[in-house]
Structure 1
Amino acid sequence: MAKKDARNTKGRIVDAAWSLFYEKGYEGTTIEEIVERSETSKGSFYHYFDSKDALLSSLSYLFDAKYEQLMQDMDPEMNSFDKLMYLNHELFLMIENSVPMDLLAQMYSSQLITYGDRHLLNQSRTYYRVLRRIVIEGQNRRQLRTDVSVNEIIKAYAMLERAMIYDWCICNGDYSLYQYSGTELPLFLRAYKAQ
């Protein structure tokens, strides 16, 4: 039961923080406001996070929560190529519509200068587990190439997604991330489709 309470506490802190970041901006949000909104304590906050900056890496966990929800909604019989497209489009639509660009940019910046855990690259994240499951399934169904390793396909796919998000941020969102990936991702994925 203690483990579940810990997840709930951390989850409440993350949810409150991102809600406040969206409302007031990252710089305009204080730790005190996060603690108050999450109905936790400063001690709980500092138990899970060293600083407000440490919350930036939790954005990847919000993406993972979206992936978990999408996996439940997705038709298990869908072609693996289409599953990868679906996950990307839904995530990018969420990013475009509900994640402030400055927070994305700060998260990417924090990953560049961190000496600790780089959450975006953490292979135990739901994101990587979902991709692994889809790619293995696609290879077993002969929908994706088997002469390229699962790890190589996952690395290339994740790298392309990060590159698109990064470019969208440095271009100040002057184009639709969702629409751009709808054009470019199929071209990229065709290289991994079984012939």
Structure 2
Amino acid sequence: MGMAKKAGRNTKARIVAAAWRLFYEQGYEDTTVEDIVFESETSKGSFYHYFEGKDALLGSLSVLFDEKYEELRPRIDPEADAVETLVFLNRELFNMIDNSVSLELLARLFSSQLVTRGEKHLLDRNRTYFKLLYQIIRDGQSRGQLRTDMTANEIAKAYAMFERGMMYDWCLCGGEYALGRYSALMMPMFLQGFRPER
């Protein structure tokens, strides 16, 4: 990644992080572009270079998630069991959602993704999320921790689907349970099914 590209990613990530922090703390409606520019210590020019306006930020949750994965990547123990690593990633992501993402906005993101005709960034395979999953799953298969009668791609797809399903249900139920706690019960059970047949 060249310096300009890296600086660009950092600016965009700073804007996204600031926006979601403000959405969570003061609500989407009450957050202005000026607030976001101020909070992210960037400029209006930078903001409009990346986003057409505030609404465009609703589609940026995947950027926020990918930043989280970049931050978690060095904390992954390469010797750990693949299922444990996947459970760890899910727990960290869901705790972040519990603590910093407004339910109303997550619901808004899901509804916009269901009706969009454009690219569905929740399904974008070039995201850090999918690349990291794929790598963990492939390693797990080569070490005999995950079944090989399914491709790494199929397992990654199933994991992502289960994760989205839990987020969707949490939105549907109006966040009446802690997402992180619920997934800590369900995700290990789900992933057991991807162990090799003994």
Task: Please indicate the TM-score interval, normalised by the length of the shorter structure.
Answer: over 0.9
CA distance in 1, matches of 2:70, 2:15: 20
Q: How does 1:5-84 map to 2 (within 5 A)?
A: 5-84=7-86
Q: How does 1:93-108 map to 2 (within 5 A)?
A: 93-108=95-110
1:89-144 deviation digits (Å, cap 9, x = unpaired) = 11111111221111211111221222222211110111101100011001100110
| Counterpart position of 1:188 | 190
Structure 1 residues 185 and 12 mapped into 2: Cα distance closer, same or farther (>3 Å)? closer
Deviation at 1:34, TM superposition (A): 1.7
| Counterpart position of 1:110 | 112
Residue identity matched to 1:40: T
State the secondary structure of the residue aligned to 1:26: coil
Deviation at 1:150, TM superposition (A): 1.2
CA distance in 2, matches of 1:5, 1:64: 16
State the secondary structure of the residue aligned to 2:146: coil
Does the 8 Å contact 2:145/2:196 carry over to 1?
yes
CA distance in 1, matches of 2:64, 2:191: 25
State the secondary structure of the residue aligned to 1:136: helix
| Counterpart position of 2:156 | 154
Q: How does 1:143-182 map to 2 (within 5 A)?
A: 143-182=145-184
Deviation at 1:55, TM superposition (A): 0.7
Q: Percent identity?
A: 59
State the secondary structure of the residue aligned to 2:186: helix
CA distance in 1, matches of 2:6, 2:145: 39
Query: Which of 14-23 and 167-176 deviates more?
Result: 14-23
Does the 8 Å contact 2:82/2:145 carry over to 1?
yes
Deviation at 1:46, TM superposition (A): 1.9
Residue identity matched to 1:142: G
State the secondary structure of the residue aligned to 2:61: helix
Structure 2: 5+ residue runs without aligned partners? none
Does the 8 Å contact 2:13/2:63 carry over to 1?
no
